Amino acid sequence: MIEVRNLAKRFRLPTRGGRTPLARDPRDHDGWFHAVRDVHFHCGPGEVLGLLGPNGAGKTTTLRLLSTALKPDAGSIHANGADLLADPLYARRHIGFLSGSTGLYGRLTARENIEYFGRLHGMTPARLQRRCDELFDLLQMHQFAHKRADQLSTGMKQRCSIARTVVHEPQIVILDEPTTGLDVMSAKVLLDFIASYKAMGVPLIFSTHHLHEVEKLCDRVCIINHGRTVFHGGMDQLRLQGGSADLYDAFVGIVNREP
Ligand SMILES: Nc1ncnc2c1ncn2[C@@H]1O[C@H](COP(=O)(O)OP(=O)(O)OP(=O)(O)O)[C@@H](O)[C@H]1O
């Protein structure tokens, strides 16, 4: 279970000649940009949570806070009872985080990349071998396992990055826009992967702009707008509060309702 409460993160706005620029965004205040102002949600065992919101809403910043790549200014994050802000090592060991960058070494093969990250997590050679075989099956990577990462297609690189993210069998998985830029077949491999994690009972959070993915996979949804959670709940609740049985219209209804 991962639980996020009242999360906030601000960034210093650049100054011009020592003066703070005029506020251009509702999140600009006194020389700070409040990228995340009040985000809350939870995701339990076997649940998939979809993190949605318009461009710039604060999704990536929120996920980076969860992965402890960024430190929040306020709020709390608990994972399986551990306080991630007090114990960031817990996050490194037990959370698998896929960020926007591939994080792969171009001169290593797909397999060497996964093995390298597995060794960083202290996995034994036997466990690593078993895990690689498992992941290569799950993500259909056998065909390009021995190709250099810098010679892989976008879809192959993304599968490789996901394998790297979960090589150490994390208890919680967080994926930032995992299917962006992928063709239908590559996206399907990743969506099947998410479904298999759900079946294993691992809480999984992913951000996306694709509502059909949410409809297919998510048990709950968190919609962020201007850095705030404006909706958190199940799919039926989303349709009810958004005023439409159509997910797209319900999403637009909720986002437009925010002042
Ligand atoms: N390091 C930073 N310094 C200043 N501003 C930042 C920083 N990181 C993010 N922001 C700002 O915070 C806001 C939220 O960005 P974020 O990347 O979290 O949005 P997002 O919801 O993931 O958007 P998208 O859907 O376009 O990926 C944006 O206005 C962005 O410019």
Longest CA span, the chain: 59
Instruction: Quote the ligand 1 centre to 242 CA distance (angstroms).
Output: 25
Instruction: Quote the ligand 1 centre to 27 CA distance (angstroms).
Output: 12
Specify the ligand 1 atom closest to the Cα of 54: 25
Backbone angles phi and psi of 34, in degrees to 5: -90, 85
66 belongs to a structural domain: yes
Which residue out of 27, 36, 37, 59 has the highest number of ligand 1 atoms within 8 Å of its CB and is therefore the one to mutate? 59
| pLDDT tier, 258 (very low <50, low <70, confident <90, very high otherwise) | low
Query: Domain total for the chain?
Result: 1
Give the mean pLDDT of 159-171. Answer: 96
Provide the CATH number for the domain around residue 61: 3.40.50.300
Instruction: Quote the ligand 1 centre to 115 CA distance (angstroms).
Output: 32
The residues, ordered by sequence, that sit 6+ positions from 124 with a Cβ below 8 Å of its Cβ are: none
- Tell me which residue range forms the domain holding 227: 2-14+33-102+171-257
Whole-prediction pTM: 0.93
Residue with CA closest to ligand 1 atom 27: 55
pLDDT surpasses 90 at 19: no
Instruction: Quote the ligand 1 centre to 127 CA distance (angstroms).
Output: 38
117 belongs to a structural domain: no
233 belongs to a structural domain: yes
pLDDT value at residue 259:
60
197 belongs to a structural domain: yes
Are 20 and 30 a contacting pair, CB within 8 Å? Answer: yes
Which residue out of 51, 61, 210, 230 has the highest number of ligand 1 atoms within 8 Å of its CB and is therefore the one to mutate? 61
202 belongs to a structural domain: yes
223 belongs to a structural domain: yes
Pocket lining for ligand 1, CB < 6 angstroms: 11, 33, 35, 53, 55-61
Interval 193-243: pLDDT, tens: 999 999 999 999 999 999 999 999 999 999 999 999 999 999 999 999 999
Interval 86-114: pLDDT, tens: 998 888 899 999 998 878 999 999 999 99
189 belongs to a structural domain: yes
154 belongs to a structural domain: no
Are 62 and 53 a contacting pair, CB within 8 Å? Answer: no
What b/e string do you get for 32-50 counting C-beta neighbours within 10 Å, with b at 16 or more?
ebbbbbbbebbbeeebbbb
